[in-house]
Structure 1
């Protein structure tokens, strides 16, 4: 079955930075099929959890098949990184404009691979603004982090 559109909300968080962290996504295909997933790591960063949420969501999309995938993230780091900054990082040998190594390179490489193989549209949404999918992800992230402490 090929879905017309898969809409995804993602979130990641950390208690301390670094510290125990959690990630989550909520996926809806054609407004009907729905899947939620979350996970945690004992010693991580907020940015890694934000990236993990998107990577895991896109991995879940691959076997479903979709004409369009819309990612809604409240992370400017993720949205700007994958839609803008990554182009220069790759040209510069995975170095920032300041010539420093790009942090979380292995996550960005995986996200770039998935993004290139799927029809993804990236949207930034304001966190904690009452957006249902984003609020649900936040709850799942908190549950995942709470399970570690």
Structure 2
């Protein structure tokens, strides 16, 4: 059986860093009109955590293995995967080359399993450059970040700032 092709756009936002944050993703099944928007957030978090949460939530939503073209304006997320940092961190028990612990390790630990399940190609987009789906993700993430009823980010730590 052939894998489905899915295009995903993600973004994270934080009102203050740290501060209340939101993440958003748009999933589009290629060749169809099927499109889904996802969003969530946390009351005290960082922008990097929201960027990474958007990717994790979007990939985690897929019910079967898919070929995914993932577009993000986060160089933090894009470089960690495309430059192989993620696999090096995992191999070295989540310690970076400078011998310091990887920030946001609770989130990074979740990504390898998703990348093994799906064939994901990461693409970096310049944020706030007029790309319709990136702008929509930004709008959704900012809207969530502005809500008063956000849950706690259980993995947030001041050391991650």
| Same structural fold, with TM-score higher than 0.5 when normalized by the shorter chain | yes
For residues 52-83 of structure 1, what are the alpha-carbon distances to aligned partners after superposition, in whole Å with 9 as ceiling and x for unaligned? 0000000112x1553x1110000000011123
**Is residue 3–residue 29 contact of structure 1 (8 Å, CA) maintained in 2?**
no
Q: Per residue, is there more helix in 1 or in 2?
A: 1
1:1-149 correspondence runs (5 A) = 4-30=4-30, 31-61=32-62, 63=63, 65-66=65-66, 68-83=67-82, 84-148=84-148
For the 8 Å contact 2:65–2:117, the answer to whether it is kept is: no
Which structure 2 residue ranges, 5 or more long, are not aligned?
A: 150-161
Indicate the SS of the match to 1:80.
helix
Distance in 1 (CA, whole Å) between partners of 2:114 and 2:137 is 21
Structure 1 residue 3: deviation in Å?
6.1
Distance 1:100 1:112 in 2: 20
Q: Does the residue aligned with 1:94 lie in a helix, a strand or coil? A: coil
C-alpha distance in structure 1 between counterparts of 2:142 and 2:2, whole Å? 33
Once residues 111 and 87 of structure 2 are traced to their aligned partners in structure 1, the CA distance between those partners, rounded to angstroms, is 13
Q: Which runs of structure 1 show a deviation greater than 6 angstroms over 4 or more consecutive aligned residues? A: none
SS of match in other structure, 1:36:
strand
CA distance in 2, matches of 1:64, 1:34: 16
3-state SS, counterpart of residue 110 of structure 2: helix
Shift of the alpha carbon at 1:142? 1.0
Aligned residues: 147
TM-score, L = length of structure 2: 0.85
Deviations 1:72-129 (A, max 9, x none): 0000000111232112212222111110010111101101211111111111111011
TM-score (norm 1): 0.92
CA contact (8 A) 1:2 1:64 kept: no
1:148: Cα distance to partner?
2.8
RMSD over aligned CA atoms reads 1.7
Q: Would you say the 8 A contact 2:9–2:133 is kept in 1?
A: yes
